[in-house]
Chain A
Amino acid sequence: MKKGVVYRVAGPVAIAELDARMYDVVHVGDERLLGEVIQINGSRCTIQIYEDTTGLKPGAPVVNTGEPLSVELGPGMLSSIYDGIQRPLPELKKLMGDFILRGAAAPGLDRSRKWDFKPVVKKGDKVSSGSVIGEVNEGQVVHRVMVPPGNEGVVKEVRHGSFRVDEVVCVLDNGFELSLMHKWPVRKPRPTSSKLAPVEPLVTGLRVIDALFPIAKGGVAAIPGPFGSGKTITQQSLAKWCDADIIVYVGCGERGNEMTEVLTEFPELIDPRSGKPLLNRMVLIANTSNMPVAAREASIYCGMTMAEYYRDMGYNVAMMADSTSRWAEAMREISSRLEELPGEEGYPAYLSARLAEFYERSGRYVNINGSQGSVSVIGAVSPAGGDFSEPVTQGTLRVVKVFWALDAKLAQRRHFPAINWLNSYSLYLDALSSWFAANVVAGWREAVDSVMRILQEEEKLLEIVQLVGSDALPEREQVTIQVARLVREVVLQQNAFHEVDTYSEPKKTYAMIKAILRYGDLSYDALKSGVRVSDIISVRAKDRLAEVKFVRDYDGLLKGILGDIEAEFGKLGKRQEK
């Protein structure tokens, strides 16, 4: 290992006399603070340090490990909670107490735990990059142990039984030894065979998303919104209920108390599909805003690498990053310490390249071992001042296909999720239509288009109302405003804290939309036959449609309400005839 000395320290950045390659991991000072080489200038390297640098002096020793920043990949990651550089937080608590101090090393995977390994290859089998050599049960998930990319050979020996993650379970003819885990550098995408087009939605259980702005498995979505508009709640809701096999949740530079909420709430939640705790399929990374800024920068890459690893096993993985703006700000902070010439708003000029690079690691793939898997990424963006024209939002918009614009005005009215239906979009709408038609109901797309039309018309009408008042609108338009109000209150609004309403399966969403459209049709018909608009608007049963949200077996209730609505219209019609 090469050694050097510190020359200068300023905040989270140090300069050292050291022989190193870019992105080599180094240990700085007597406390062996973890750092990474981010610039080389002659014999001097600039190092970003993942821990607090208080007390670090010029002349302190630096040791170069010669390896890039890597994560340990193997069984035991699920239901773990890590900091930004894959140190398990419960382990850090054991080592240092309730506060995070410096210089603690803790491996990402528990070395004492044993796993039952069932090989699926035998002596003489040929294996190559990514080949599955055996399986381990990791909670309810079958963890496939793979040959690390870049290695191949013929199996010379394979064991089965109970092993720790670092014990050898398989030896190849070229002498290469395989254990349950391997390391992978976080900044390097894991190789794949080919990228596939998205065809299947990531069903989220959020009505406004599934119906109007769906995301595909392997797709990328951005949730930008000013503070208080519900980014975190939406992210958590998605993490809880979306139908991915594995969730990687990265809390990047966010609030400590929010992470605590995740940590106390998630273990109690039960996966509606498997009946097991949700946490069993989840990896949590928590690097709160007051933890070192360099580790915040790394946390996003750590999360992505773990997501890719499970993708390689053939799983559909969803990664939530809350928030990518904090990641970008960490880049800005480091860049300004390097005294690089800034681009827009002080962000480094390579900001949009980094954003694009990161999001490009998502997608649906044929893996190198022939299986198929996907990584979907949902990134929260916290635009400064709520202004979507700032560089992080814009850089993100250039690469994502789905945009859920959160709106402070909606949040203030307690319209949640506060996704603005006019500014948001999904470019997967067409690609996913056939899936919804085949797997939910044939009329899906048609119903969705009607809803969108009504909402857009409402927007135009509201502008007129602003000028002349609602009474001045033609009768037909007054009815449209009613129908749109129902769409907003019944379909779009959803209560993340209600045990039933928190998850709405697509079938239910469709049934609710259809019921409202039915009310709309009846209204327009009644209007044509001369019924007064005030009578139509005062049809009482329609207001009960909102109750459907809170009921699990909604079929009977919905039919009842629809029956009542029809009956009321029937009466109106008869009165008209008289």
Chain B
Amino acid sequence: MKEYRTISRVAGPLVFVKKTEPVAYADMVKVMLPDGSVKNGQVLDTSDEVVIVQVFEGTSGIDLNTRVKFLNQPIKLGVSEELLGRIFSGSGRPVDNGPEVVADKMLDITGAAINPYSRANPSDFIQTGISTIDAMNTLVRGQKLPIFSASGLPHNEIALQIARQARVVGKESSFAIVFAAMGITSEEARRFIDDFEQTGALERSVVFMNLASDPAVERLLTPQLALTAAEYLAFEKDMHVLVILTDMTTYCESLREIGSAREEIPGRRGYPGYMYTTLAGIYERAGMVKGKKGSITQLPILTMVGDDRTHPIPDLTGYITEGQIELSRDLHRRNVYPPINVLPSLSRLMNLGIGREKTREDHKQLSDQLYAFYAEGLDLRGLVAIVGEESLSERDRRLLKLAAEFDDKFVRQGRNEERSIGETLDIGWRLLSAIPEAELSRIHPDLRKKYYGKC
């Protein structure tokens, strides 16, 4: 393989190489510095005149004498079951002092789109033990359900609690976990690893770790590597895989960095116009395939800039994922854990995973009723601030109380409290017992007869 010493320009994370033989788009590149160190890169743009390479480990130290080698193949990850229990850097090097992984096969990390015709319809209810998720925004196997959080909120703890408690009722096999950290602090990373170690989850986990101090461009590889590992475990080794991606916001910022270094015309808030496609390429690598036993369930975490859900990152994410779990600063301030605001939260696949034989026959209607009352109750909170509680009707006062009880009894739970779906639904019925039975218009009379006042 030829080496070139024809670097003509270095700008931000990009290196421009001239006078090469034809180089293929998206190929892997080795950049060899005069001091002997080697960096990895990928071809972003290729033509007869100039090849643009993005360097994952940053461009510091690169000069015009640096040698560049094109490996004539796309970036690949060596996979085997030995990945389990290991910790890797954001670009896939082992960082746990363990040996190199002996690869079963090498997989292209970009992954291919699952043929929609080959997908199996996700329908297995995952019990997370968290009431606000299980009852109101049910997670099912093969779903991608992001947590919309903001700085200072306990999204990592919620993700850990889900990773600890998630299981499919009636089925023994627990989830394998693929954890991809992008630009999180070493303290946060430590928490995850410690928790995995303590609960013994580490031996069924694969960890890819790009910390805040690591090169920003390396982050662009991390989710691709993690999902390649997940696809291997799920579709070739029949495992049920839970993928946690945190934090998607820093990933998108790296994407923006590359875009601006290439002098691309920016889209909204400076993010590149192709960000939807790029994010879709990540999130859509969740799901189930007909005839295969395994599945990939994704739990991406993103921090909303300025708590704004219309910011491009949560916005585009919400258009791709199957719902979202949104955290609320207000609940957090009132010391409610987990501070999940059910109103803007949503699980699009909920209806596939609940009901008779899956959870309970009353699940859907109970959750709709709680939604309707809680929304009304919160509106009344605003009204009370203006007119005072005295001028409310009796019904309104009941709803106001229900909303408060909902926060306190239904939303609030312990960090290690694992509620079964039955317990969760019973709590819901207990809250509703404060409302006259006839007013439960969302619930069928037969179900009311069976459950109202009996839980």
Contacts and interface: CB of A to CB of B under 8 A. Distances in A.
Interface of A: 7-11, 15, 52-60, 81, 89-90, 92-93, 96-101, 226-228, 251, 253, 255-261, 263-264, 286, 288-291, 293, 326, 329, 332-333, 336, 339, 342, 345-346, 382, 384-387, 408, 411-414, 465-472, 489, 497, 540, 543, 546
A257 B310 CA distance: 24
B318 interface: yes
B378 to A, nearest CB: 10
8 closest residue pairs by CB, A with B: A385-B310, A8-B47, A289-B280, A290-B284, A469-B391, A89-B117, A99-B112, A227-B318
Nearest to B344: A412
A332 B74 CA distance: 27
Interface of B: 22-27, 44-48, 74, 108, 110-122, 142-143, 235, 264-268, 272-274, 276-277, 280-281, 283-285, 287, 289-290, 292, 309-312, 315-316, 318-324, 343-344, 346, 348-349, 351-352, 364, 368, 371-372, 375-376, 383, 386-387, 391-393, 396, 438, 441-442
Contact of B318 (A100, A228, A260): A228
23 contacts: A8-B46, A10-B44, A11-B274, A56-B24, A57-B22, A99-B112, A99-B118, A228-B348, A253-B280, A255-B320, A255-B322, A264-B121, A329-B273, A336-B264, A384-B312, A384-B316, A385-B310, A386-B310, A412-B343, A414-B442, A468-B391, A543-B438, A543-B441
A260 B315 contact: no
Contacts of A100: 112-115
Contacts of A470: 393, 396
A55 B383 contact: no
Nearest to A11: B274
B372 A413 contact: yes
A226 B319 CA distance: 8
Contacts of B116: 81, 89, 251, 256, 259-260, 263, 286, 288
A527 to B, nearest CB: 18
B119 A256 contact: yes
Contact of A257 (B143, B265, B272): B143
A228 B346 contact: yes
B383 A293 contact: no
B300 to A, nearest CB: 14
Given A257-B143, A333-B274, A384-B310, A53 B26 contact: yes
B121 A257 contact: yes
A57 B115 contact: no
Given A9-B47, A259-B116, A59 B265 contact: no
Contacts of A336: 264-265, 267, 272-274
Contacts of B346: 228, 411
A58 B310 contact: no
Nearest to A55: B24
A339 to B, nearest CB: 7
Given A93-B115, A227-B319, 19 more contacts: A8-B47, A10-B25, A11-B25, A15-B47, A53-B25, A56-B24, A58-B22, A228-B344, A253-B276, A261-B121, A261-B352, A289-B277, A290-B284, A333-B273, A382-B319, A412-B343, A412-B344, A470-B396, A471-B393
B274 A293 contact: yes
B113 A99 contact: yes
Contacts of B235: 98
Contacts of A97: 118
Q: Which of the listed residues A59, A60, A81, A469 has the most CB atoms from chain B within 10 Å of its own CB?
A: A469
A386 B344 CA distance: 13
A382 B317 CA distance: 12
A52 B26 CA distance: 10
Given A101-B112, A256-B116, A54 B280 contact: no
Contacts of A339: 265
B340 to A, nearest CB: 14
Nearest to B311: A385
B145 to A, nearest CB: 11
Contacts of B321: 255
A265 B425 CA distance: 28
Nearest to B364: A497
A550 to B, nearest CB: 8
A257 B276 contact: no
Contacts of A226: 318
A333 B344 contact: no
Contact of B119 (A257, A332, A342, A345): A257
A95 to B, nearest CB: 10
B122 A257 contact: yes
A268 to B, nearest CB: 12
A465 B321 CA distance: 38
Nearest to B442: A414
A255 B280 CA distance: 9
A443 B376 CA distance: 35
B23 A93 contact: no
Contacts of A90: 117
Nearest to A17: B48
Contacts of A386: 310
Contacts of A259: 116, 119
A90 B290 CA distance: 12
Contact of B441 (A99, A326, A342, A546): A546
B117 A57 contact: no
Nearest to A340: B265
Given A467-B386, A469-B392, A89 B115 contact: yes
B277 A293 contact: yes
Contacts of B24: 9, 54-57
Contact of B45 (A8, A293, A414): A8
Nearest to A260: B119
A208 B114 CA distance: 37
Contacts of A92: 115, 117
A346 B273 contact: yes
A326 B276 contact: yes
Nearest to B349: A257
A556 to B, nearest CB: 18
A489 B119 contact: no
A58 B23 contact: yes
Nearest to B316: A384
B268 A54 contact: no
A414 B372 contact: yes
A342 B265 contact: yes
B450 to A, nearest CB: 18
B258 to A, nearest CB: 12
Nearest to A469: B391
A345 B268 contact: yes
Contacts of A251: 116
A489 B440 CA distance: 12
A56 B346 CA distance: 41
Nearest to B266: A346
A7 B50 CA distance: 11
A286 B318 CA distance: 20
Nearest to A325: B319
B112 A413 contact: no
Contact of A290 (B23, B120, B280): B280
B383 A469 contact: yes
Contacts of B349: 257
A83 to B, nearest CB: 8
A339 B112 CA distance: 27
Contacts of B319: 227, 382
Given A7-B48, A9-B47, A55 B280 contact: no
A98 B294 CA distance: 14
B26 A290 contact: no
B388 to A, nearest CB: 8
